[in-house]
Structure 1
């Protein structure tokens, strides 16, 4: 008999994967909190070759003439080998432990090998079709060589809770895969076939294997099967069953917490209701009950708030503004949801404060709605002015061209300053589009690129998507020849089986960025501009957290992701390239992306250029490189969980004190962070090779209580624009602007409403809005 508890947990976990690391092997903890586990050691370079960028120590008599180098940490977790710069390591971040096989329940699977032949690596061209594993743990792999295809039969020979070993039975082609990559039904059959299922010791061993593999539902289901098969009451497994119940309860609680953080309130509530009350720690039950109570309170508020607002309006001494207030109340009522409800927190906190008038309470509600609860005011006339600004701003954003008349109307609104306009824009939902947007439902869109060509792109919003919540973005670039739908499902999953972006609350964007479909990406500016334009459109139409935008690609899509990150290092929180080979040209401009976190994934025989990797490591780049031994031409799905764990720790790095940039493609303007350089096309056209670059260097110096100095120190451009944000400059201080030593400005400046509006309308960047700009 299958337990009701197991069923409820299965339903809850169909939508959400929870992964718990095993405390084994060495632990490598980076400064950003990311953790790797495996056998670790220090090496000089990924190919054991000391790259030419190493320099001899100068000025240190003790080390005079010796080569200095930045060591690389290599971490082998049996499935893949990680490489990271030693500089990324946290203080005391390397803990050496022992990973003893005796600490795990392991199983050997007998497979018949016959006359294994070797595959000459020099003939290797890639891997073709790979069939699923059958009930015997075998599969077929087609290897492409210059002499034709080779059919390799592989079999699973070793089961570990974290990994499985797969050996070639007719050819020497052995790999190690994640245990999670084996279908549950196949894994179950292999476990049963490798042990005496009638032996209670082996029964416990299989149950423990599932627990160690973080497959607690499968462990519980296995014990249920034993109880049913042997017609026992299961008492002999009660201690194991209790451990499983506790783990499942904790997982479900963690899922509830995660869903709350992602704004998936309904799914969190369903999971909370499914959580059993037995075998749960009291403090966990307290948190669950607290959430259920808050959920009920929120639902009650959704129903009662429009009525309360109407009642407060009826209590006003003066009803001249009733038409405006009626419209505002209708909009708020329509936009009310659990995602938008926190905007009314100031109103809820003071709702029953007898010292506040009805007018002040309405002001707190309606101003908090458009500025955020922290910026709410109790002045109703000011609030009405701000709502007028919101309506005009929407009209301005909808207009095809810059509308000077609308700008003047917005400027004329009393008490609208830069701070309030910025808060209004940051809390403004996207301009409603004709295409309805539903969480978990794919939206297919088109845009006209800068050459008036049509470009298609698909967006998969996260579950319970709300325009009142700002979401991280994964901009995913598919390899040439792959159906975009297949690529989208690889990252996001399907309605039946959700993938990582849906689980983790990401907006997934898949643009068909190639100008000519079917033609490989060839490191050209046209397609890079299309990628950039797709991101701008997504920021316009969806609610985006611009500090959490990641660009990822596979194959030549991975090459495009690398180029896009190097071209626009201030747009992304990180770059992911899977099986990208790195264009040789990237050797000459990779330092543009030195501020970016990089996560590169590949197989041992994918043909990645180690020279660039070594340069990046020696330059202390924020780089993780994951290499899968003896594998080639795959997408390496095992890395997805690690990728998203890593992304959760990254944020865009803006407002650089020093900017160093090398323009490398024929374009007239280059904007990096707060500086834009114009007139570069002529300079770039004169270069004899695209491997030559045009430099741009700028820096910021700030003296507290004195002034802020921004200066361009190296440039070949004919014009420059400085973009000034409140994070970059204190507007109570004097601003000094210089270009190559020539002072262009020295004065106290005021925020410019028109600059704020134009900047937002151009970039839709809610996290960084410029208040002023100066062109020279």
Structure 2
């Protein structure tokens, strides 16, 4: 954030404005704030406190950051929300730099007497703000619709305070919205209606507010307008240059963010048109260096093409020439900035006289097919890799068992068909199902139909980010809609609505380069509650699995989220299948049924909860499980509570969500875990699958609550000495292994179902391909499989 420059001063004849600006610089807010850094690298800033657990009032907190206390739940209050986290997750904290917020107070006829609103019911309608900062909120009440008129009473760079206004039957309610969630045209009208635009002090208040909000373009416009209106502010003209520089710096940051998200064509266009007037040389050089890097990579692409043809030209054998021609066609049509690093070894060693032309060509082909650093200098093997890759794609899309067997036999006869090569090819190849354009206005929007566990057809919607490339792996959000809502609304919530003029969506998922998958997970649009059923689970998981075959998804960065009853589902599915998710983000979720029994599973998956302070008794319903997560070590859980808010969509938290997701990845090769299960379809955890549960350990959703049923506890571990131990009451257990879990050069000791076996472990192409065909995870195929049964 850029604070107001010291040069924002006025001559003595207009000292009031100058004093106002000096106050912004030198007067601290008076609130002791802290910046916490958690073990997951997430940073949280706000007024600190400690409580013994969720359910205690944060207002009763009498401790501050760093103070010794037996209270294990920390929170940070930033004015609009309280963020709760465990003492066990705190890495360190520092005092927040002192500063001040530009607070603009607006006069409204606030209700000061009357009934106090104790809970915010379901929102039926919210009108837009008028020029006076007023709107009407209609919520569901026990006696029917309740209409409340709110008015903006305070605006600062962090939040906008809303209070109910005086009416015939006044009700007292204060809530807050993130300032970032209010568009500048609306905010500007409200401020200019309440402030005196003939007063330079008030004009500069708006400038300072926009600066603190990092709305530098608007701040620059307002300052220019103020200087034109008040000639005595002419000495502030130089600050326009500072604002222009701040805007350029912000643009560079956005360009670099988009670059990290893989949106290279848009980044290049922005760099070509980067503003130069009034921008510091350092910033211009930074932009020009980025543009130069793109130009260099374009030249590098041409070099790869020239070198490839150079080393292919001496070939004489017709069969080899024809095989190379097919590979050349693919490389020349698909090589781009995302795949250029695959040719690093080829370019680096391309002029080495001790390496033959055929060896260099082999490096180019194998690098293209298997990825950077995965090269062979054997041309015959490299050519065969192309056939192996194509056979893999055919296998993954085949529904015919006999055909798949023939493909496996074909792969086994190819020089490049080793398990090691297959794993590399899987990781580097495009998704197995080609992407076909659909008749949507948005070319990156797709709708598909498939069947769930009940064989009923359901649809799911997928939104791709700008500049989507099938060779690049993208973080992904699986988003579950609430009652009465649709998958399309979830897409809009995350990625923004489609802007036809700009030919893109402007939401945060688009900005950060995330794929969004929104399945129609409920039986119909009228389903009002989550049923904890196999059908619901399957709709979520099948939509994801099918998407893995269609889209370039980073399987280590898949996040599950949901709103309202969709949040209930996300919480349950996240605990039931903790091995799938990099994190789970339930919004307005309620703990119920299996969630309370599966609480130990939360140790293996990160959670980010969002809720409203006044959402009925939801906090009380979740209190027990929240405190389990926060008062024990090993749980990566964060709980966000918005002040004065109820059952909301919390669009204004989306920036915090992406900040949290940026630091989270799934750990695939988990060497040890202890999980709980009660349903027969909650039976796959990391590298083991469990089938045929004892009847006394099973409780189906329709049988809830359990009577004498005990949960089935599963303990599994892999020791460094190739020793695997699994403790479970299941009748059949399958164990899946990778070189990341055990050493394939040594025997493995398997202690499963009370029996011990010492056996060699052999990589199998069939196991690998069948695993990817079923799970869709091309980044982490299992290499070997062992099956155990109590009946044997």
Same fold (TM over 0.5): yes
Query: Partner of 1:481 in structure 2?
Result: 484
Query: Partner of 1:699 in structure 2?
Result: 716
Contact kept? 2:45, 2:96, Cα under 8 Å: no
Query: Partner of 2:88 in structure 1?
Result: 87
Shift in CA distance, 359/287, structure 1 to aligned 2, threshold 3 Å: farther
In the aligned structure 1, how far is the partner of 2:109 from the partner of 2:419?
Answer: 74
Contact kept? 1:440, 1:463, Cα under 8 Å: no
Segment of structure 1 superposing worse, 494-503 or 541-550: 494-503
Segment of structure 1 superposing worse, 133-142 or 282-291: 282-291
Indicate which of 609, 621, 635 corresponds to 2:649.
635
Aligned-residue offset at 1:247? 1.5
In the aligned structure 2, how far is the partner of 1:290 from the partner of 1:181?
Answer: 34
SS at match of 2:56: coil
1:337 lines up with 2:336 in the alignment = yes
Query: Partner of 1:139 in structure 2?
Result: 135
Contact kept? 2:678, 2:699, Cα under 8 Å: no
In the aligned structure 2, how far is the partner of 1:733 from the partner of 1:239?
Answer: 72
Aligned-residue offset at 1:132? 1.4
Query: Partner of 2:640 in structure 1?
Result: 626
In the aligned structure 1, how far is the partner of 2:77 from the partner of 2:376?
Answer: 56
In the aligned structure 2, how far is the partner of 1:660 from the partner of 1:749?
Answer: 24
Indicate which of 475, 492, 502 corresponds to 1:472.
475
Any idea what the Cα deviations from partners look like across 1:99-140, whole Å, max 9, x if unmatched? 66xx23221111123674214537x64332111111101111
1:499 lines up with 2:507 in the alignment = yes
In the aligned structure 2, how far is the partner of 1:444 from the partner of 1:24?
Answer: 50
Indicate which of 593, 599, 608 corresponds to 2:608.
599
Shift in CA distance, 535/456, structure 1 to aligned 2, threshold 3 Å: same
In the aligned structure 2, how far is the partner of 1:78 from the partner of 1:434?
Answer: 46
Shift in CA distance, 382/235, structure 1 to aligned 2, threshold 3 Å: farther
1:663 lines up with 2:677 in the alignment = yes
Shift in CA distance, 389/718, structure 1 to aligned 2, threshold 3 Å: same
Aligned-residue offset at 1:728? 0.8
1:118 lines up with 2:115 in the alignment = yes
Any idea what the Cα deviations from partners look like across 1:478-521, whole Å, max 9, x if unmatched? 00211332221111112325111101100100000113342132
Aligned-residue offset at 1:282? 5.0
Query: Partner of 2:5 in structure 1?
Result: none
Any idea what the Cα deviations from partners look like across 1:429-487, whole Å, max 9, x if unmatched? 01243623899621011112233211100000011000000011100000021133222
1:298 lines up with 2:307 in the alignment = no
Aligned-residue offset at 1:676? 1.4
Indicate which of 747, 768, 773 corresponds to 1:756.
768
Query: Partner of 2:258 in structure 1?
Result: 259
Contact kept? 2:113, 2:172, Cα under 8 Å: yes
1:722 lines up with 2:718 in the alignment = no
1:148 lines up with 2:144 in the alignment = yes
Aligned-residue offset at 1:95? 2.3
In the aligned structure 1, how far is the partner of 2:303 from the partner of 2:588?
Answer: 54
Aligned-residue offset at 1:554? 0.1
Q: How does 1:73-472 map to 2 (within 5 A)?
A: 73-90=74-91, 93-97=92-96, 103-113=100-110, 116-119=113-116, 121=118, 125-170=121-166, 171-227=171-227, 229=229, 235-277=234-276, 280=279, 284-302=283-301, 305-306=304-305, 308-402=307-401, 403-433=404-434, 435-436=436-437, 441-472=444-475
Q: Alignment length, in residue pairs?
A: 726
Contact kept? 2:117, 2:173, Cα under 8 Å: no
Indicate which of 774, 783, 786 corresponds to 1:771.
783
In the aligned structure 1, how far is the partner of 2:151 from the partner of 2:545?
Answer: 48
Aligned-residue offset at 1:701? 4.3
In the aligned structure 2, how far is the partner of 1:589 from the partner of 1:330?
Answer: 52
In the aligned structure 2, how far is the partner of 1:362 from the partner of 1:690?
Answer: 65
Aligned-residue offset at 1:755? 0.9
Aligned-residue offset at 1:686? 7.5
1:531 lines up with 2:540 in the alignment = yes
Indicate which of 652, 659, 663 corresponds to 1:649.
663
Contact kept? 1:440, 1:502, Cα under 8 Å: no
In the aligned structure 2, how far is the partner of 1:440 from the partner of 1:220?
Answer: 36
TM normalised by structure 1 equals: 0.88
Any idea what the Cα deviations from partners look like across 1:668-693, whole Å, max 9, x if unmatched? x7111112111117444579855444
Contact kept? 2:88, 2:632, Cα under 8 Å: no
Shift in CA distance, 654/314, structure 1 to aligned 2, threshold 3 Å: closer
Q: What runs of 5+ residues in structure 1 fail to find an aligned partner? A: 1-21, 51-67
In the aligned structure 1, how far is the partner of 2:122 from the partner of 2:537?
Answer: 27
Any idea what the Cα deviations from partners look like across 1:377-409, whole Å, max 9, x if unmatched? 222111012112112112211211341121122
Contact kept? 2:371, 2:424, Cα under 8 Å: yes
Q: How does 1:681-696 map to 2 (within 5 A)?
A: 682-685=695-698, 690-691=705-706, 692-696=709-713
SS at match of 1:467: coil
Query: Partner of 2:691 in structure 1?
Result: 678
In the aligned structure 2, how far is the partner of 1:710 from the partner of 1:141?
Answer: 59
In the aligned structure 2, how far is the partner of 1:235 from the partner of 1:766?
Answer: 63
Aligned-residue offset at 1:273? 2.1
Query: Partner of 1:7 in structure 2?
Result: none
Contact kept? 1:29, 1:94, Cα under 8 Å: yes
Shift in CA distance, 198/647, structure 1 to aligned 2, threshold 3 Å: same
SS at match of 1:613: helix
In the aligned structure 2, how far is the partner of 1:517 from the partner of 1:187?
Answer: 35
Aligned-residue offset at 1:594? 1.7
Aligned-residue offset at 1:587? 1.4
SS at match of 2:562: strand
Contact kept? 1:683, 1:716, Cα under 8 Å: no
Any idea what the Cα deviations from partners look like across 1:543-568, whole Å, max 9, x if unmatched? 11100000000000000101111110
Aligned-residue offset at 1:748? 3.1
Shift in CA distance, 331/721, structure 1 to aligned 2, threshold 3 Å: same
Any idea what the Cα deviations from partners look like across 1:254-294, whole Å, max 9, x if unmatched? 12211221111111112222323455555544443232122
Shift in CA distance, 341/565, structure 1 to aligned 2, threshold 3 Å: same
Aligned-residue offset at 1:305? 4.5
Contact kept? 2:671, 2:741, Cα under 8 Å: no
In the aligned structure 2, how far is the partner of 1:255 from the partner of 1:166?
Answer: 31
SS at match of 2:589: coil
Q: What runs of 5+ residues in structure 2 fail to find an aligned partner? A: 1-28, 59-68, 500-504
TM normalised by structure 2 equals: 0.87
Query: Partner of 1:61 in structure 2?
Result: none
Contact kept? 1:513, 1:530, Cα under 8 Å: yes
SS at match of 1:177: strand
The CA RMSD measured in Å over matched residues stands at 2.6
In the aligned structure 2, how far is the partner of 1:279 from the partner of 1:350?
Answer: 45
Query: Partner of 1:16 in structure 2?
Result: none
Shift in CA distance, 551/156, structure 1 to aligned 2, threshold 3 Å: same
Aligned-residue offset at 1:296? 1.8
SS at match of 2:748: strand
Shift in CA distance, 283/751, structure 1 to aligned 2, threshold 3 Å: farther
In the aligned structure 1, how far is the partner of 2:668 from the partner of 2:392?
Answer: 26
